[in-house]
Amino acid sequence: MRRTSHDLRCFCARSPMLAKYGVDGDGKLYVHVKVYKQRRVYSESFITGGTVKLLCRECLRWHRVVIRDTSTVMLLEDKVPVEISSGAMPA
């Protein structure tokens, strides 16, 4: 299986990159999120199935990334997750 990698961008006017997605060496679809600050990696996530919710840093819209099968990634606008909107931070 051939590996692929594509940018997953918000559809707002500034179009910032939210994550990368593609097919890994095993033929599984993935979403890769990496957070930098001054060239230092602060967080990194590699998701291979299910649903991921991401916040656009420019327009502050929430997006839902759905990995449907081995070939489809869908980016949909979503509402603020309930766990975040309540303001409660787990210990």
pLDDT per residue as tens, the chain (91 positions): 678 889 999 999 999 999 999 888 888 889 999 999 999 999 999 988 888 899 999 999 999 988 876 666 777 788 888 777 765 555 4
Q: Looking at the whole model, is its pTM more than 0.95? A: no
Residue with tokens 């940018």: 7
Give the three-state DSSP class for 80.
coil
**Is 34:41 a contact under the CB 8 Å cutoff?**
yes
Contact criterion met (CB below 8 Å) for 67 and 47: yes
Tell me how long the chain is.
Answer: 91
Phi then psi for residue 27, to 5 deg, are 85, 10
Q: Up-side HSE of residue 34: CA atoms within 13 Å toward CB?
A: 9
